[in-house]
Amino acid sequence: MSTIPAEDSTYDATAALEARTLCEAFQITAAARGDAVALRVADDSVSITWTEYAAQVRALAEGFASIGVERGGAVALLMVNRPEVSLADTAAIHLGAAAFSIYATNPAKANIPLINNSGAKVLVTEPAFLEVALKTRELAPTLETIIVVDDEAGAADLTFADLAARKVDGFDFDAGWQALEEEDVVTLVYTSGTTGEPKGVQHTHLSLLYGLRGLEESDHVTPAGRLVSFLPMAHIAERWISHYASMVFGHTITCCPDPKQLAGALASARPTRMFGVPRVFEKLAGAVEGMAAADPDGPLADALAAGLARVRAEQAAGTTDAHATDDGLTDAQRATLAAVRGKLGLDALEWCCVAAAPSTVAMHETYHAIGIPMLQIWGMSECVFSCITPPDRIKLGTVGHQVPGVEVKLAPDGEILVRGKNLMSGYRNQPDKTAEAIDADGWLYSGDVAVQEGEYYKIVDRKKELIINSAGKNMPPQKIEMAVKTHSSLIAQIVAIGDGKLYVTALVSLDEEALTAFAAKHGLEGDVATLSQAPAVAEHVAAAIDAANEELARVEQIKKHTILPVAWLPGGDEVTPTSKLKRRVINDKYVAEIDAMYAS
């Protein structure tokens, strides 16, 4: 049985929050947390205390310095979520270099723009990606050194152990990090490239710490809690909410290298804080709903129904208070829902948050119903943390209001504009692109379109993704897609099509796990391609679309749809690693299927 790291009620994050740089915050936290666990994996085969973390950072920083990593430079990381990511990253930023992660799903060719733009001369990887790393260096000769984290270097230049053992005459680790300024670049976040070559978003100590202070002010963060790191580190959300936040708040991070192992990691860590993209939470909500449906007259179905009725009544009255203690449920219903939270490994959560892609109100309702108030935040790579749902006044379907110290407003066309110290310092080596994104008055043009409901903002679409049909009618595809997904957990992704067309159609991709469960329930057999074409599946999807059409304006209704015989996986051709749709790619790849829906 794995040992679950305990909370440390004696740790106070005040000094770390007031630090000038993340390096200073890290040193304060490491000294205060000492023998508490900082980094671990679910089975505790790796468990690193804060004291050990700090010592390894010191050694690795000297190793990096010995191979030319310096202030203003960059270090690339090509690894899954494992403790070595944090070790290497933290060591690099103590030298004043920008550490950035590359998506593990990238082919070598996709890494070239990142290496060229960043100027990285060093790449840290693991054996599973060594071949890609070597091919990357072959295509980008400015990349000089490849380091592999495990014992056998093989074709790599150095192992992690080799790096930590290297020495530099006169190296002064402490003087180096103490000389860093707020404006030094900490990380590069490369945009997903759904509409062109990725841009390198630069974030500084100032912007990242400013966001963490805003998080603390918006909803107090209990220090020394527990997190599971499972989203790609190449995404700003995972870096900020787990890696950088732990430097300030002293959290224990349980690394989950494969999202398919998330259930085990949650059970092992019992996180106090959890952030995820909608698809992750949809799967967990689907599991709860499935358990209730399996015994419609049982205690879970009863408790879930009571919880949903409570949430809907609260929302009808205005908002929901995450801190409220009177839920109106019976003791038996509370006990049933507590057991479900325990089964999911979410019984210790004090904070649960979703962002990065659109999520349905129905999914939020399920979490609130089982006793996990779910907040929604809004930001983007360029401005990280800009809006949050207030925990004492949660209005489902909105991203809340601006966080303290950040200015948010809507342009005349509904585009969200943001101004504040949480903004990026610019796109790396692309001042022209920076000027396009941030105007002379400091306003960042987000590209997201929203409406305001009182003081809250509700995201309705991406500005460049609006459907304009042949009659000139503007329609937000996300509104159409979310309406359908609300009625089916079997649908992983749905893409509304209709730009320049007479009517709206849709491509549907199913969820493999949900499809397997559906097949077992209905006595079906076969692979994804076979099951996706089964009459029972077709009827289910058609029913969900029909139900959604009842809620949509006539011009928005889906007239035809096609169920694709493949599942779209995060990081694949069709969706980004955080499950955002690559609409342009989808339109090009499935042109035959789309044309067929308009053939008549």
Domain residues of the chain, as ranges? 14-273, 466-597
Residue 196: pLDDT band by 50, 70, 90 thresholds? low
pLDDT, position 474:
74
Q: Which residues of 45-82 are buried (b: 16+ CB within 10 A; e: fewer)?
A: eebbbbebbbebbbbbbbbbbbbebeeebbbbbbbbbb
Tell me which of 418 and 380 has the higher pLDDT.
418
DSSP string, 504-519: EEEEEEE-HHHHHHHH
Question: Which of 151, 127, 76, 120 is closest to 257 using CA atoms?
Answer: 127
pLDDT for position 169: 95
What is the average pLDDT across 445-452?
91
Neighbours of 398 (CB within 10 A): 23
Q: Percentage of the chain surpassing pLDDT 90?
A: 69
Confidence band, pLDDT 50/70/90 cuts, at residue 600: low
For residues 229-239, average pLDDT: 92
Number of C-beta neighbours around residue 314 at 10 A: 18
E strand spans, 57-169: 74-78, 98-101, 122-125, 145-148, 158-159
pLDDT at 2: 34
The answer regarding whether domain 466-597 maps to CATH 1.10.1760.20 reads: no
Distance between CA atoms of residues 542 and 554, nearest Å: 17
Report pLDDT digits (tens) over 165-188: 999 999 999 999 999 999 999 999
For the cut 90, the answer to whether the pLDDT of residue 191 exceeds it is no
Identify the bridge partners of residue 560 per DSSP, sorted by sequence position: 505
Which pLDDT score is estimated for 553? 78
User: Which CA distances in Å does 224 have to 42, 99, 208, 211, 237?
Assistant: 18, 24, 19, 18, 19
Is the pLDDT at 6 greater than 60? The verdict is no
Mean pLDDT of the chain: 91
CB 97 within 8 A of CB 123: no
Residue 41, strand partner residues? 255
Q: What are phi and psi of 594, to 5 degrees?
A: -65, -45
Q: Between the CA atoms of 423, 428, 434 and 435, what dihedral angle is there, to the nearest 10 degrees?
A: 130
Q: Specify the pLDDT at position 277.
A: 84
Mean pLDDT score, 587-600: 90
pLDDT reading at 143 higher than 50: yes
Q: Residues 72-82: what's their mean pLDDT?
A: 97
Q: Write down the H helix ranges in 296-425.
A: 299-317, 331-344, 361-369
Q: Is the pLDDT of residue 341 over 90?
A: yes
Give the model's pLDDT for residue 188.
Answer: 97
Tell me the pLDDT band of 116, cut-offs 50, 70 and 90: very high
Q: What is the arithmetic mean of pLDDT over 467-476? A: 76
Total H helices, total E strands in the chain: 23, 26
CA–CA gap between residue 443 and residue 33 (Å, rounded): 39
CB atoms within 10 A of CB 173: 17
CA atoms within a 13 Å half-sphere pointing along the CA-CB vector of 479: 22
The more confident residue out of 133 and 551 is: 133
Contact call for residues 481 and 504 (beta carbons, < 8 A): no
Q: Name the token pair of 553.
A: 């304006």
The band of 250, judged by pLDDT with boundaries at 50, 70 and 90, is: very high
Q: Are 394 and 375 in contact (CB under 8 A)?
A: yes
Q: Tell me which residue of 138, 186, 142 sits closest to 25, measured CA to CA.
A: 186
486 pLDDT higher than 70: yes
List, in order, residues 6 or more apart from 379 with CB less than 8 Å away. 236, 237, 355, 385, 386, 387, 422
* pLDDT, position 153: 65
- Which fold is adopted by the domain 14-273? Rossmann fold (3.40.50)
pLDDT computed for residue 580 by the predictor: 80
One-letter amino acid identity for 372? I
For position 178, what pLDDT does the model report? Answer: 98
Residue 362 is predicted with a pLDDT of 87
Dihedral (CA of 265, 270, 272, 275) sign: positive
- Residue 528: other Cβ atoms inside 10 A: 18
CA 160 – CA 82 distance, rounded (Å): 13
Token reading at 489: 């957990």
Q: How far apart are CA 227 and CA 225, in angstroms?
A: 7
Q: Which residue bears the tokens 């391609």?
A: 529
Look at residue 98 and give its three-state secondary structure.
strand
CA distance 375 to 395: 9
Q: Which range, of 5-9, 81-85, 186-190, 219-223, averages the lowest pLDDT?
A: 5-9
CA separation, residue 201 to residues 114, 177, 198, 204, 428 (Å): 11, 22, 9, 10, 6
| Residue-level pLDDT at 56 | 98
